[in-house]
Chains A and B, each alone.
Chain A
Amino acid sequence: MDMGPSLAVRLNAVALYAISALLLVAFYWQLAYDELPCPLCLLQRVAFTALAVGPVLTIRYGPKPLHYGLVIVAALLGASVAGRQVLLHVMPGDAGFGSAFWGYHFYTWAFIAFAVAILAAGVMLMFNGQFAGQDMADEAAPAPSRFETGAVWLVIALTLLNAFSAFAECGFSACPGNPVHYELFR
């Protein structure tokens, strides 16, 4: 069994929708429960947006091992940040930072998500059939469908939304360790 380029591109679009869903859940928690993300939490969101660059390149240029490499590099950074935050709260009796979601804190879920991203990129790299047409000129890559185009613009819009949210939260100075209000609106 092998995988063609069109299925690989479709799966990359699904990955973009998954990243968008993660960013939306984090945003919902921030707005609905007024839980402002800490610097390490914001950095995990940054790593999720970095994770999206590889799939966007795949949708535009077709599947290439380089694009999966970008996913692994971004996921390693995100896992490092999330792992660091897990270790900060690993002591018995520590309540952790923020509220829990289905029994785990968001940084624990983020660590799991980054591990899954590395696993997914590794599994995708095993299917050689998707790279068969990569010698063709970049301009010859097939035009993306509405499903794929929608995934790209959704994740770009959410990244920009996060940029302005972080700006509102931190203002012009460095972000406080435990933010409780939006610095820009004080």
Chain B
Amino acid sequence: MEFFIAFFNFALAMWLAWRRRSPLALYVFFAGMIYAAAIFLRHAVNPLPLSF
């Protein structure tokens, strides 16, 4: 679900840009960046199957 929201967010940002809603597209873009960074931090600390 988390990635569905992230993809949908950027599709929405592109659609808003295409519909000439530039400020709104920028807000949605930056909200998506913060959300993607949060997902990254969450999954970057998954237990790691290290080889040593």
Contact = CB atoms under 8 A, between A and B. Distances in A.
Contacts of B43: 39-40, 43, 175, 177
A94 B51 contact: yes
B49 to A, nearest CB: 9
Contacts of A159: 7, 10-11, 14
Given A40-B44, A57-B22, A152-B18, 12 more contacts: A43-B36, A46-B3, A46-B10, A50-B29, A60-B20, A61-B22, A77-B37, A77-B40, A91-B51, A156-B18, A160-B11, A177-B47
12 contacts: A39-B39, A46-B3, A52-B14, A53-B17, A57-B25, A73-B33, A91-B52, A156-B14, A160-B7, A166-B7, A173-B1, A175-B43
Interface stretch (A2-10, A80-88, A114-122, A128-136): A80-88
Contact of B10 (A50, A93, A152): A50
B51 A164 contact: no
Interface string A168-186: 0111111101000000000
A170 B50 contact: no
Interface in A134-182: 138-139, 152, 155-156, 159-160, 162-164, 166-167, 169-175, 177
B52 to A, nearest CB: 7
Interface of A: 39-40, 42-43, 45-47, 49-50, 52-53, 56-57, 60-61, 70, 73-74, 77, 80-81, 84, 88, 91, 93-94, 138-139, 152, 155-156, 159-160, 162-164, 166-167, 169-175, 177
B2 A50 contact: no
Contacts, number: 118
Contact of B22 (A42, A138, A156): A138
B7 to A, nearest CB: 4
- Most B CB atoms within 10 A — which of A42, A73, A169? A42
A50 B11 contact: no
Contact of A50 (B8, B20, B33, B42): B33
A46 B14 CA distance: 13
